[in-house]
Amino acid sequence: MSLEMWREMARLVPTAAADRSVLAIVLRGVDATAFASGADIEEMISIASDRGAWTLMDAVRGAEQALSDCSKPVIAMIRGFCIGGGVELALGCDLRFAAKTATFAVPPAKLGLVYSLSSTRRLIELVGLGRARDLLYSARSFDASEAFRIGLVEHVFEENEIERKTMDYIEMLARRSQYSIRAAKQISAAAIAGGSDEDEEVRDLRGNAFSGDDLKEGLDAFTKKRAPAFGWR
């Protein structure tokens, strides 16, 4: 991942989120070789000044934050290597699906780097403080089964099934209430940040559901034993 790639990620995600035809975003590598194998090391070596280093670090954080802030569901479909900056990208996503052949590592201790507070916090939220420190201190590689066991990924699929399984999941989300899904993303983020049911944003999200068309459609579909056709976008 070059500096320009990190910057482009931060630009592309909001563009996709603003597209009404897009219901969810899948972040993936170009092929089965890697989801993302980290930052461009040669580019890092060429950075000679503190200003240049902060430009790169801010770009990495900006890409991760764009994924996290996206109003729509973002799923990391992880095949092959997911190393360093690749893990940071995956941490910014809502869900992480991995192929059984995926390989992970959090290697700053091998390079003398330090992860951002936001990346470290997201890692702790997923795997817990002790396991996060284990991964950060040791910089060791681990496979998809361990990633699933410790909570870093939510699903593990066979390599030849992960694309289909991911799209099946996306198609399932498309049949659900998009209002409910996006509200759940906002409220879950507020919950992690220490929010309250009395917060105005939370109350508005919940109250607006009762006056919205999706709830009317959902209740009607439930009583008539049919599949709902939610219309909110």
Residue 47's pLDDT band (cuts 50, 70, 90): confident
Q: If you average pLDDT over every residue of the chain, what do you get? A: 94
In whole angstroms, give the CA distance from residue 36 to residue 30.
9
pLDDT, residue 48, reads 62
Sequence-ordered list of residues with C-beta below 8 angstroms from that of 190, at least 6 positions apart, any chain? 199, 201, 202
Same domain (yes/no): 118, 205: no
- Residue 141 counted as domain residue: yes
Residue 12 lies in a domain: yes
pLDDT in tens, 115-142: 999 999 999 999 999 999 999 999 999 9
Segment 3-28 mean pLDDT: 95
Does residue 68 register a pLDDT over 80? yes
Please tell me whether residues 144 and 53 are part of one structural domain: yes
Distance CA 202, CA 90 (A): 26
State mean pLDDT over 196-209: 95
- Is there a single domain that holds both residue 15 and residue 49? yes
Cα–Cα–Cα angle for 16, 18, 19, nearest 5°?
65
Same domain flag for 64 and 136: yes
**Structural domain includes residue 53:** yes
Burial 60-93 (b: 16+ CB within 10 A, else e): bbbbbbbbbebebbbbbbbbbbbbbbbbbbbbbb
Contact 178, 136 (CB under 8 A): no
Total domains present in the chain = 2
> What tokens were used for 47?
């950075």
> Are 145 and 189 found together in one domain?
no
**Domain region containing 219:** 177-223
Same domain (yes/no): 124, 201: no
The CATH code of the domain that includes 32 is 3.90.226.10
Cα–Cα distance measured from residue 122 to residue 192, given in angstroms and rounded to the nearest whole number: 10
Whether residue 123 contacts residue 96, with contact meaning beta carbons closer than 8 Å, is answered with no
232 assigned to some structural domain: no
- Answer yes or no: is 95 within a domain: yes
Residue 230 lies in a domain: no
Q: Are residues 83 and 120 in the same domain?
A: yes
What integer is the mean pLDDT of 50-67?
89
Residues 153 and 214 placed together within one structural domain of the fold: no
pLDDT at 38: 86
Q: Do residues 166 and 181 both lie within one domain?
A: no
Average pLDDT over residues 164-173: 97
What pLDDT sits at residue 45?
81
Token pair, residue 27, equals 């972040």
Do 162 and 191 belong to one domain? no
In a domain, 231, yes or no: no
**What single-letter DSSP state applies at residue 31?**
B
Checking if the pLDDT of 39 tops 90, the result is no
Between CA 33 and CA 31 the distance in angstroms is 6
Which residue type occupies 122?
R
88 within a domain of the structure (yes/no): yes
Residues 64 and 92: beta-carbon distance below 8 Å: yes
Give the separation between CA 93 and CA 25, rounded to whole angstroms: 9
**Same domain, yes or no: 31 and 118:** yes
How much is the average pLDDT of 68-77?
96
Q: What is the CATH number of the domain that holds 203?
A: 1.10.12
Is the pLDDT at 84 greater than 70? The verdict is: yes
